[in-house]
Amino acid sequence: MKINLKTKDQITQMRVAGRLAADVLEMITPHVVPGMSTEDLDKLCHDFIVNEQKAIPANVGYNGFKKTICSSVNQVICHGIPSANKVLKDGDILNIDVTVIRDGWHGDTSKMFLVGKAQPHNERLVRVTQECLYKAIDLVRPGAYLGDIGAVIQEHATQNHYSVVEDYCGHGIGQVYHEDPQVLHYGKAGSGLRLEEGLCFTIEPMINQGTKYTKVLADGWTVETKDGRNSAQWEHTLAVTSSGVEVLTQRSEESF
């Protein structure tokens, strides 16, 4: 495992990319309404990144992926492909995952959206999943372990009678989109890589209402829950600082 620690100057550049990614999610929020297709949302995000931000949508062309965002609705866990045929309905839940490249550096983030009038069981899933992410971020500091992150996510999810997807995980990030280390969302506290200043990575828990098991659809990208029950995910890109953590993709409604 090759770990690329970032310098303060490099983190400054990552901060710019992270801010741009957060801005995309803030821009798209008022457009996530019943009647909008995920293709519509994708085009808005693409045009905003390219024309307004003068940046690069990292997903376009990544391993053959053709769209700017991943749009994962209801039982889709991750990597949902935007489509004109996927029109949002009242009561849907949606994850939009976006990565922006600026000057070679990546900012990767995702947010859950409640479409129209939320059903209480979906609202709870979305809230608890966000709590899993925030509890994990609270533990990030020099001297902590990656296992601490996985353990607190798993504990909070299972206490709320949900399951943690184990087939997909967070990752190191910088000039490379996905690099070491892998950041599992389950595990044992005090185990795994010891965190140190300059380590940059994502935490992106995927939490299911039903079992943890997944299936990949015939398109080779879309990942769904095997039992058809709903799933939620939130993601931030983080940098370990000398005293704690900086959330590089923090949105304006958040405080850390």
Domains in the chain with CATH codes:
8-247 (3.90.230.10)
Q: What is the DSSP string of 85-151?
A: T-B--TT-EEEEEEEEEETTEEEEEEEEEE-SSPPHHHHHHHHHHHHHHHHHHHT-STT-BHHHHHH
| Cα→Cα distances 234→25, 36, 77, 113, 144, Å | 12, 21, 11, 10, 21
pTM of this structure: 0.97
More confident residue, 2 or 110: 110
Mean pLDDT of 150-165: 98
Q: What is the pLDDT of residues 61-115, one digit of tens each?
A: 999 999 999 999 999 999 999 999 999 999 999 999 999 999 999 999 999 999 9
Q: What is the pLDDT of residues 175-225, one digit of tens each?
A: 999 999 999 999 999 999 999 999 999 999 999 999 999 999 999 999 999
Tokens matching residue 92: 């849907």
In the DSSP assignment, the letter for residue 207 is E
Answer whether 28's CB lies under 8 Å from 45's CB: yes
